[in-house]
Chains A and B, each alone.
Chain A
């Protein structure tokens, strides 16, 4: 069974640009969560989608957005990039339909560098 796939794995952007990251969950998983990982703040919750609906959202500005498609694939977008957005963005899927999810299955992440 294929794991959670995130693309791209690495990317470099400049301040003011926008970026879109993609996540394909494990087949059959309908919940997809996104986390930002930085050395200073650790893992911070961005949002969770379930059946194409944003079910939960963390404390990030509106520049961070996401969506989920009918096949459960998810994308997150960051607009007007800032230096502080440099981080590893992790996507995780869960077979659980309840919130909070139990076990999360993580992808390898997309490492974003903002110059």
Chain B
């Protein structure tokens, strides 16, 4: 079935460092792909999305490109801030029950 695998955390970076969180997927067809972010004590919120191959989603300095040849959707940011500390979830639309399938989440901590 469809699935999402993302890198285990936690990831600890210094402010202004470069961020990459890896996400790969297994799916039939070409489902839409998403990155969601969960700040402490809050629910998830959409960070960015891509609906077809080669699409690049971007928001708040974060970017991810839908790569069908490598079945990947890696999240990147050139310069992280302390306020980016959160848990990041990769997801695809295409669960067998008509749901979004989420990765396990990657906790990011950014130190000043």
Report which A residues bind B (CB closer than 8 A): 4, 6, 33, 35, 42-43, 45, 48, 55-59, 90, 92, 99-109
Contacts and interface: CB of A to CB of B under 8 A. Distances in A.
A6 to B, nearest CB: 8
Of residues B31, B34, B95, B103, which shows the largest number of chain A Cβ atoms within 10 Å of its Cβ?
B95
Tell me whether chain B's interface is mostly helix, strand or loop, or mixed: loop
Contacts of B104: 42
A42 B102 contact: yes
Contact of B94 (A42, A58, A100): A100
B28 interface: no
Nearest to B103: A42
Interface string B87-111: 0010001110111111111000000
B3 to A, nearest CB: 12
A49 to B, nearest CB: 12
Interface of B: 31-32, 34, 36, 41-46, 49, 89, 93-95, 97-105
A43 to B, nearest CB: 4
A35 to B, nearest CB: 8
Given A101-B93, A103-B46, A104-B44, 12 more contacts: A6-B43, A33-B100, A42-B104, A43-B44, A45-B97, A45-B99, A45-B101, A48-B98, A56-B98, A100-B99, A102-B32, A106-B44
Contacts of B98: 48, 55-56, 99-100
A100 B94 CA distance: 6
A4 B31 CA distance: 25
Contacts of A109: 43
20 contacts: A33-B100, A42-B102, A42-B103, A42-B104, A43-B102, A45-B95, A48-B99, A90-B44, A100-B31, A100-B100, A101-B93, A102-B93, A103-B34, A103-B49, A104-B44, A105-B45, A106-B43, A106-B44, A108-B41, A109-B43
